[in-house]
Structure 1
Amino acid sequence: MDIVRRNNVSVTGNPNGRTVVLAHGFGCDQNMWRMTVPALAEKYQVVLFDYVGSGRSEPSAFSERRYASLVGYARDVVEVCETLGLRDAAFVGHSVSAMIGVLAADMAPKSIGALVMVAPSPRYIDDDNYRGGFSSEDIDELLASLESNYLGWSAAMAPIIMGNADRPEFGEELKNSFCATDPVMARVFARTTFLSDSRDDLKSVAVPTLVLECTQDVIAPREVGAFVHERIPGSTLVTLDATGHCPHLSAPEATNEAILEFLAVQR
């Protein structure tokens, strides 16, 4: 299948600049980056795409077996990079996409030369000496609710994930994005996301890395940002003056500034 059509790939910005790949998180699509693209496009070439099962990707390409693991989503990233002939691209991944980027960079080191991890979490479930933010029971209940009533789950969870209760339009947008996703495909991505454990993968990161966390984030608390930063030697940790799990929407100026400053010092 044509990869560009499969993943609804679009390319914009400066064709002579370094390429920056923007990767959305669970329940979202590339439109979530609309406030970041203009900030990058003057200097950088920007690649946007939708994971299979999200946005305007090709539904017929969906495979429950492939996407039952984050490796399947990382293969999407690698195939997009290979199709476009990318070299030394900077990969900006939101939420679970930060970990997908870690896997993709390991699989295709010539294609990806830097990582920006926006509100990352290598494991959502608490473990011995590790706080992911959720107990096993929490995640079981979350997935059961999602699988029994996806639209109801979306309406209830989107405002919590987004935070910023004083700006309900952001929560409404995230809810609409969730609701636009096919429930069957969303269930697979949700299970893959919330049951994942990518902590051991962090040690493989060998490229310059920026970790962006928010001051308050119910999905990825600050202990998680500190953990990721500690496990990736040489990484940079920036705490944004932002709340919620989607700072590229709720605090785009601060998010864009941090990304641009990081990219400016890369080769």
Structure 2
Amino acid sequence: MDVRVKNNVVVTGDPAGPVVVLAHGFGCDQNLWRLVAPVLARNHRVVLFDHVGAGRSDLSAWDPGRYAGLRGYAEDVLDLLADLDLRDVVFVGHSVSAMIGVLAANRSPERFAKLVLLTPSPHYLDDGDYRGGFSAADIDELLESLEANYLGWSAAMAPVVMGNPDRPELGRELADSFCRTDPAIAAVFARATFLSDNRADLAEVTLPTLVVECAHDAIAPREVGAYVHAHIRGSQLVTLDATGHCPQLSAPEATAEAIMSFAGGVR
């Protein structure tokens, strides 16, 4: 299958600039980069795509076995880079795609130049001294609610994820994005996301890495950002003066600036 069709690949920007690949999180699609991508495109070659099951990806490529864990998504990223013959990529992964990027880069580091992990979480569950932000009961309730009434869950959860109650239009946009995803596919991706544990993978990262967190994030609190930073050797940590889990929508200028400063290539 043509990867460009499978993942609805869109390439924009400066063909001679550094390559930046933007990867969206759970329940989203590439449209959530709409405020950041044009800024990056002034000096970078920007590659956008939809994970299989999201946006305008080819739903015939969906396989619940392949996508029951994050490694299937990481394999898709590597297939995409190989198909487009891309190397020295700055991979920007939002939310769960941060760990998808880690898995892909650990497997084939020669394809990558740098990683930008935007509001990442290697493990959402509290575990001993590790604070992921959710108890096991929290995650069980979240998944049960999602599977019982996905549209209702989307309407209730999106404002929590977005975290900007004074800007309700952002929560509505995220809810609309959630609702464009097939509920059965969303349920599988949710389990792959919220039950993942990629803490051990952080120590294997050999690339220059930027961890970008928000000052207030209900999904990936600052303890998580500090953990990721501490466990990726030589990483940098930037805390945006922003609220919520999706700063590419709530604070696009600051998000773009953090990416560009780290990616380089601005003329």
- Structure 1 residue aligned with 2:48: 48
Matches of 2:169 and 2:238, distance apart in 1: 26
Residue 164 in 1 paired to residue 189 in 2? no
Does the aligned pair in 2 maintain the 1:9–1:49 contact within 8 Å? yes
Matches of 1:36 and 1:129, distance apart in 2: 35
Structure 1 residue 109: Cα displacement: 1.3
For 1:40-79, list aligned pairs within 5 A: 40-79=40-79
Structure 1 residue 161: Cα displacement: 0.5
For 1:207-226, list aligned pairs within 5 A: 207-226=207-226
Does the aligned pair in 1 maintain the 2:17–2:265 contact within 8 Å? no
SS at match of 2:92: strand
- Structure 1 residue aligned with 2:30: 30
Unaligned runs of 5+ in 1: none
- Structure 1 residue aligned with 2:141: 141
Matches of 2:72 and 2:253, distance apart in 1: 32
- Structure 2 residue aligned with 1:4: 4
- State TM-score, norm by structure 2: 0.98
Does the aligned pair in 1 maintain the 2:44–2:265 contact within 8 Å? no
For 1:249-260, list aligned pairs within 5 A: 249-260=249-260
- Structure 1 residue aligned with 2:15: 15
SS at match of 2:228: helix
Moved segments of 4+, more than 3 Å: none
SS at match of 2:17: coil
Matches of 2:35 and 2:162, distance apart in 1: 16
Does the aligned pair in 2 maintain the 1:21–1:89 contact within 8 Å? yes
Q: Which amino acid aligns with 2:101?
A: G
Matches of 2:63 and 2:45, distance apart in 1: 30
Structure 1 residue 232: Cα displacement: 0.4
Does the aligned pair in 2 maintain the 1:105–1:113 contact within 8 Å? no
Does the aligned pair in 1 maintain the 2:18–2:265 contact within 8 Å? no
Matches of 1:235 and 1:109, distance apart in 2: 16
- Structure 2 residue aligned with 1:116: 116
SS at match of 2:233: coil
**Matched residues, number:** 266
- Structure 2 residue aligned with 1:262: 262
Structure 1 residue 265: Cα displacement: 8.0
Does the aligned pair in 1 maintain the 2:122–2:197 contact within 8 Å? yes
SS at match of 1:114: strand
Matches of 1:61 and 1:265, distance apart in 2: 35
Once the two structures are overlaid, the 10-residue window that deviates more, 219-228 or 35-44, is 35-44
Matches of 1:53 and 1:83, distance apart in 2: 20
Structure 1 residue 39: Cα displacement: 1.2
Structure 1 residue 2: Cα displacement: 0.7
Unaligned runs of 5+ in 2: none
- Structure 2 residue aligned with 1:185: 185
- Structure 2 residue aligned with 1:87: 87
Q: Which amino acid aligns with 2:52?
A: V
Does the aligned pair in 1 maintain the 2:114–2:209 contact within 8 Å? yes
Matches of 1:111 and 1:9, distance apart in 2: 17
Matches of 2:149 and 2:174, distance apart in 1: 17
For 1:195-214, list aligned pairs within 5 A: 195-214=195-214
Matches of 1:215 and 1:83, distance apart in 2: 37
Output the aligned Cα RMSD. 1.0
- Structure 2 residue aligned with 1:106: 106
Deviation track 1:31-80 (CA, whole Å, cap 9, x = no partner) reads 00011111111111000000000000000100000000100000110010
SS at match of 2:258: helix
Matches of 1:106 and 1:85, distance apart in 2: 18
Matches of 1:186 and 1:108, distance apart in 2: 28
